[in-house]
Amino acid sequence: MVTDPAGRLRASIRSIPDFPRKGILFRDITPLLLSEKAFGEAIDLLYDRYRGRRVTKIVSIESRGFILGSVLAYRLGAGFVPVRKPGKLPAETIREAYTLEYGEDTLEMHTDAIGNGDNVVIVDDLLATGGTAVAASRLVERCGGTVMELAFLIELSFLGGREKLQPRPVFTLINYADELQ
């Protein structure tokens, strides 16, 4: 029986080799989401970290980040802000381009979602190379919000994403220090 929270949560993550393409070891959170106990524990750990810290908004990156972020926002009594790929949000947006290993992509957020003085936690399922998290942070900061911390269910620390997010604080529940763990 695994007694530490990270170990228990890690036990509910499925590793799928060669998905979405050959050479990638995909960390599938679906079994964690299917387990009332594991999903509840992940949300409880995040809630315990941020309760009482005056978080006004939870910003989450599509799509799996929405699952964690919306529940956490509800628990904290904070607003929920979706950050999406271009053309998915109906009102006026701001956009931020970021670099990927194989090109560029863009994220958008409603212009009225974050205001001056908002205390924001950015929540996503996975921190890999950090590009999407940096872009989401820049969107929040451009709108006058303060990124209190970025929180992830899983970090693939061997890809160096945390370093790209500095000096912003980063918190993760599960860390894979190398690809084969």
Give me the residue spans of the domains in the chain. Answer: 54-176
CATH of domain 54-176: 3.40.50.2020
Total-model pTM? 0.94
Each residue of 59-104: pLDDT tens digit? 999 999 999 999 999 999 999 999 999 999 999 999 999 987 677 9
Each residue of 6-15: pLDDT tens digit? 899 999 999 9
Q: What is the pLDDT of residue 4?
A: 83
Is 64 one of the catalytic residues? yes
**Integer CA distances (angstroms), 55 to 50, 78, 95, 132, 157, in order:** 7, 6, 23, 21, 26
Is 92 one of the catalytic residues? no
- Active-site entry in 8, 49, 64, 75: 64
| Straight-line distance from the first to the last Cα atom of the chain, in angstroms, rounded to the nearest whole number | 19
Would strands 25-28 and 103-110 be described as parallel, antiparallel, or unpaired?
unpaired
Average pLDDT over residues 147-171: 97
Question: Is the confidence at residue 120, as pLDDT, over 80?
Answer: yes
- Active-site entry in 36, 92, 101, 104: 101
